[in-house]
Amino acid sequence: MKKNSAFSATVRSIGTTLILGTIIGGLSSLASIGFIELIFLLNDIFKISAKSRALTTEPVILTISTIIVPALGGLIVGILIWGFTKEKRPQSIADIISESLSRSHDQSLKNRFVNVIASLLSLGCGASVGQYGPVAYLGGSIGAVLSKITGERFYQDNIALCCGVAAAISTVFNAPITGVVFVHEVILRHYSLRAFAPVTVASTVGFVIANQFFDKLPLFSIGIVNTASAGEFVLFALIGLTGAIIAQLFMQSILYFDELNRRLNFHQVFKPMVAGFAVGIAALGLPDVMGVGTEAIRLATIDGAFSGVELSTLLCIKILLTGLCLGFGFVGGVFSPAVFTGIMFGTLWGLIANEIPGIERSALVFYTICGMVAVTSPVIGAPLTTIIIVLELTRNYSITTAAMVSVVLSNIVTYHLFGRSLFDKVLKNRGIDLGLGRDKALLNIKSIEPYVSDDFCRIGQHVTLAEARRMMIEDDATQAHCVDDNAVHIGTISLLKLSLLIDRGEDMRQSVVSHVDRETFSLTKNTTIWEAMNALQNFVGESIPVIESRQNKKMLGVVHASTIIKAYLKTTSTLREEENL
């Protein structure tokens, strides 16, 4: 009997894994393909792509469109985000990480749709933002929406969301292993068979669909190349060390313009338009800074395609424009701009290496890719993912080995100077600190509001001491909470204190207000479970009053110490179960 039961459970688990991974992987893959193709189409229509610009014979039209299209696109993006989203800000990978951690797929379908459209328009009109972040957001949203529709019979916790992200990444990169590793390293932050199996299926489905329906050119065209000398690994290490500084400048630029956005006193709707106008002006002299810059990325691997001055200029302008666009409200990712910046930086190193006497330089692509991973890896906080993606994109172990050296040193330096990643910094600024572990981060997301109870003894400000004592005895309570006529919390009084007042011969007909403890410890509805647990260290009593806020002390109910402890244990137990199954 037990064997049959175990066999049935195994069959159900395998079936659920296959169904979950296949359906979400397939839908996310097709959606990602459609998203990328629409970007290409818009780039051609708006004369953002190199091909469409080369075919335009009227220089005046090209100049006008170069300035007008990003600015007008920015205005429409501003209207979409400000007017039609709940948060009034763009969504990104950081939000997917937060959603995966909390497993609260409460974002509306409308909100997700508006963000996807806004990111499509941002990329279509040439904003200096990335396409892979929005693609991952699209895949994750598909998984999250399906999980809400189908219910717990079809998914477990945040696995559906992760399946969508893995399939999207696998599709756009033609890299199924990268999709799996990215989800575990960046989104989930742990490895377990429970998530690994369906995520792997989804990523594989995405890869198969991409190869069947999506004739995607490789990012690099690389033949059989090897390192020219062992001494070059010193240069690859230096690329990693200096790449960490470039990565930090890249991330600090985004954070600086985001802060500047908050300080500037004009309407949020118009801020992406300002960034779009700046992109257009810069693109008059450097059209490669618009959009993803795929053509420039491919040319950078060819010796002589760019001079050192051109590479340095493109690198600096791209950092500034990406910070401006993302900080001022365009919707997009950071991976593509980081790739562009890293490739320009790595190619610049390749030119320098060519001038060093006594060193026989390898193919330029070694330096290009080492620069790329030295910048992108610390930005997204995924050293293993970037190493795997190099291996899957190049199919070359020599280049991958060189990239490993740059990745390791770049991540070590960036961690000490900045932190694990840009996503972690963004989430920390929102009060979600992943640096102290997933347990604390999740406990700091969940508020005590769902655990607030109205099962307590409530007394009014006009109640006498005798009436208060009677009410507590009837409610079998050892503590009562006093509120005024507007339900504002005044203080608490215990049954023990009332008994002591009787022993002292106090007049029990007097109002209870004069004897309540007004310095009562209280929590607000937004207090997190982590904060509540820490606060319990100094609490003695039956129940803790919960108020609206420190400014508005209207009493909402109480929360019991045992309830907080149970919520804490349940949350941590859920994480352990997720990590070990």
Mean pLDDT value of segment 185-195? 84
Do 185 and 247 sit in the same domain of this protein?
no
List of residues 6+ apart from 291 with CB closer than 8 A:
43, 48, 49, 123, 126, 127, 128
Residue whose token pair is 């809400």? 148
Do 245 and 390 sit in the same domain of this protein?
yes
Q: How many Cβ atoms sit within 10 Å of the Cβ of residue 230?
A: 7
Report residue 393's pLDDT band, with 50, 70 and 90 as the boundaries.
Answer: confident
- Separation CA 457–CA 450 (nearest Å): 20
Supply the Cα-derived Rg of the chain in whole angstroms. 29
Residue 88 counted as domain residue: yes
Whether the Cβ atoms of residue 315 and residue 345 lie closer than 8 Å to each other: yes
Residue 194 counted as domain residue: yes
- Separation CA 300–CA 296 (nearest Å): 6
Percent of the chain past pLDDT 70, that is, above it, reads: 92
Do 366 and 245 sit in the same domain of this protein?
yes
Closest Cα to residue 146, out of 12, 23, 33, 32? 23
What number of residues does the chain have? 581
Q: What are phi and psi of 564, to 5 degrees?
A: -65, -45
Report residue 154's pLDDT band, with 50, 70 and 90 as the boundaries.
Answer: very low
Q: What is the CATH number of the domain that holds 515?
A: 3.10.580.10
Do 280 and 389 sit in the same domain of this protein?
yes
pLDDT at 318 over 80: yes
Mean pLDDT value of segment 417-446? 85
Q: What is the CATH number of the domain that holds 286?
A: 1.10.3080.10
Residue 271 counted as domain residue: yes
Q: Exposed, middle or buried: residue 63 (CB in 10 Å: 0-12, 13-18, 19+)?
A: middle
Do 41 and 105 sit in the same domain of this protein?
yes
* 183 or 514, which is more confident: 183
* Chain mean pLDDT for the chain: 88
- Separation CA 28–CA 38 (nearest Å): 15
Do 71 and 183 sit in the same domain of this protein?
yes
Q: What residues form DSSP beta bridges with 492?
A: 481, 517
Report residue 322's pLDDT band, with 50, 70 and 90 as the boundaries.
Answer: very high
Domain endpoint, select from 213, 244, 275: 213
User: Sheet containing 489-494: which strands, arranged edge to edge?
Assistant: 457-460, 479-483, 489-494
Whether the Cβ atoms of residue 118 and residue 81 lie closer than 8 Å to each other: yes
Report residue 153's pLDDT band, with 50, 70 and 90 as the boundaries.
Answer: very low
Q: Which two tokens stand for residue 188?
A: 């989930």
List of residues 6+ apart from 348 with CB closer than 8 A:
308, 311, 312, 315, 371
Do 274 and 132 sit in the same domain of this protein?
no
Mean pLDDT value of segment 353-359? 84
List of residues 6+ apart from 257 with CB closer than 8 A:
323, 324, 326, 327, 328
For the chain, percent helix, then strand, then coil, each to nearest 5? 65, 5, 25
Helices (H), 418-536: 422-429, 438-443, 465-474, 495-503, 529-535
pLDDT at 219 over 60: no
DSSP string, 181-235: HHIIIIII-S--HHHHHHHHHHHHHHHHHHHHH--PPPS----S---S-TTHHHH
Helix (H) or strand (E) holding 493: strand 489-494
pLDDT of residue 217: 57
Distance (Å) of CA 387 to CA 223, 229, 368, 369, 375? 19, 21, 14, 10, 12
Residue 401 counted as domain residue: yes
Closest Cα to residue 171, out of 34, 295, 342? 34
Do 370 and 499 sit in the same domain of this protein?
no
Whether the Cβ atoms of residue 279 and residue 68 lie closer than 8 Å to each other: no
Q: What are phi and psi of 546, to 5 degrees?
A: -115, 125
Residue 221 counted as domain residue: no
pLDDT of residue 220: 57
Helix (H) or strand (E) holding 84: helix 59-84
* 155 or 347, which is more confident: 347
pLDDT at 336 over 60: yes
151-155, 177-181, 206-210, 474-478, range with greatest mean pLDDT: 177-181
Domain endpoint, select from 415, 435, 455: 435
Which of 236-245, 373-382, 562-571 is least confident?
A: 562-571
Q: Which amino acid is at 378?
A: P
Helix-then-strand count for the chain, H and E? 23, 6
Report residue 578's pLDDT band, with 50, 70 and 90 as the boundaries.
Answer: low
pLDDT at 237 over 50: yes
pLDDT at 241 over 50: yes
Q: Which domain holds residue 496?
A: 446-580
pLDDT at 421 over 60: yes
Report residue 380's pLDDT band, with 50, 70 and 90 as the boundaries.
Answer: very high
Distance (Å) of CA 397 to CA 387, 389, 393, 418, 547? 10, 12, 11, 30, 60
* Number of domains observed in the structure of the chain: 3
pLDDT at 344 over 80: yes
Closest Cα to residue 344, out of 377, 319, 321, 381? 319
Q: Which amino acid is at 370?
A: C
Q: Which two tokens stand for residue 273?
A: 């338009």
Residue 209 counted as domain residue: yes
Residue 518 counted as domain residue: yes
User: Sheet containing 555-560: which strands, arranged edge to edge?
Assistant: 523-524, 543-547, 555-560
Domain endpoint, select from 150, 185, 213: 213
Do 508 and 531 sit in the same domain of this protein?
yes
Do 451 and 334 sit in the same domain of this protein?
no
List of residues 6+ apart from 389 with CB closer than 8 A:
173, 175, 178
Do 282 and 416 sit in the same domain of this protein?
yes
pLDDT at 438 over 80: no
Closest Cα to residue 238, out of 421, 410, 415? 410
- Separation CA 182–CA 384 (nearest Å): 8
Do 89 and 199 sit in the same domain of this protein?
yes
Residue 497 counted as domain residue: yes
In tens, the pLDDT along 77-92 reads 999 999 999 889 999 9
